[in-house]
Amino acid sequence: MGDANDADELLDSVILKVITKSSDNFGSLLLKALREAQLDYFKTEQRRRKRFELSIDNESPNSEVMERDGDERPVETAVELRQRKKRTDQLKLIDSLTRSAKTDTATTTIVEAYLFAPLDAKPTEIARSLGIHHETVKRKLRRLARRYDANRFGDVREYLAV
C-alpha cells in the first residue's frame, strides 16, 4: 500500500514513541509497537482509498504503455493470465473426467449445466433447470468426484474457484 518513505516514517515515529517510554525491555516493546503501528497504517490507508478517489488510483498501470505503442487492446495483467490459465486447467480436468467410458449422458448433462451456470449455483438449482431430482445431481457429482486422481492431476485445491 505504501512505499519505502512511508515505511521509514512509520519506523521513525514508532522509535520516537518507544524511546519516550522508559522500559527495561526495549526490543519487545519496539516490536509490539511497530506491529500495532503497521496494522493501524493499513487500516487508515484502506479507509482513505475507499473515501478519496485519486486520479492516480484510477489510471490503469498500462496506460503509458498503450499510449507509446498506439495499440488499443489492453495488456493482460498477471492476475488475468493466471485466472485464464486456471480456468483452462479446470476445463481440461472436467473434460478428462467426463470422457471416460463410465460416464453416462446424465452426468455429462449435469456437468455442462454447471459450466454454464453462475458460480454460486447449487445442486438444487441445477436439478431444477434440468428437470431432475436434486439427489440425482448430487449422486452423479459424487461419483464423478471419486474418479479424481490426485497423483495424475495434482492437488484438488488448485482447481477450485478462480
d(C-alpha 94, C-alpha 148), whole Å: 10
d(C-alpha 156, C-alpha 97), whole Å: 13
Position 87 in a domain: yes
d(C-alpha 70, C-alpha 65), whole Å: 8
129 and 101 share one domain: yes
54 and 93 share one domain: no
32 and 83 share one domain: no
**Phi first, then psi: what are they for 17, rounded to 5°?**
-65, -40
Which residue range is the domain that position 15 belongs to?
4-59
Residue for grid cell 431430482 = 133
Position 34 in a domain: yes
Position 92 in a domain: yes
55 and 82 share one domain: no
Please give the pLDDT value at position 95: 76
Question: What does each of the 162 residues of the chain score in pLDDT, given as a tens digit?
Answer: 667 888 888 888 898 888 888 778 888 888 888 989 888 888 888 887 777 765 555 555 555 544 444 445 566 677 777 777 777 777 777 777 777 667 788 888 888 887 777 767 788 888 898 899 989 888 888 887 777 777 777 666 665 544
93 and 141 share one domain: yes
Please give the pLDDT value at position 75: 63
Position 8 in a domain: yes
85 and 147 share one domain: yes
Give the angle subtended at the CA of 42 by the CAs of 39 and 48, to the nearest 5°: 140
Give the angle subtended at the CA of 52 by the CAs of 50 and 58, to the nearest 5°: 85
49 and 87 share one domain: no
Please give the pLDDT value at position 158: 62
Please give the pLDDT value at position 162: 41
Cβ-count burial of 110 within 10 angstroms (0-12 exposed, 13-18 middle, 19+ buried)? buried
87 and 35 share one domain: no
109 and 144 share one domain: yes
Position 70 in a domain: no
93 and 146 share one domain: yes
Split into its structural domains, the chain has a count of 2
87 and 152 share one domain: yes
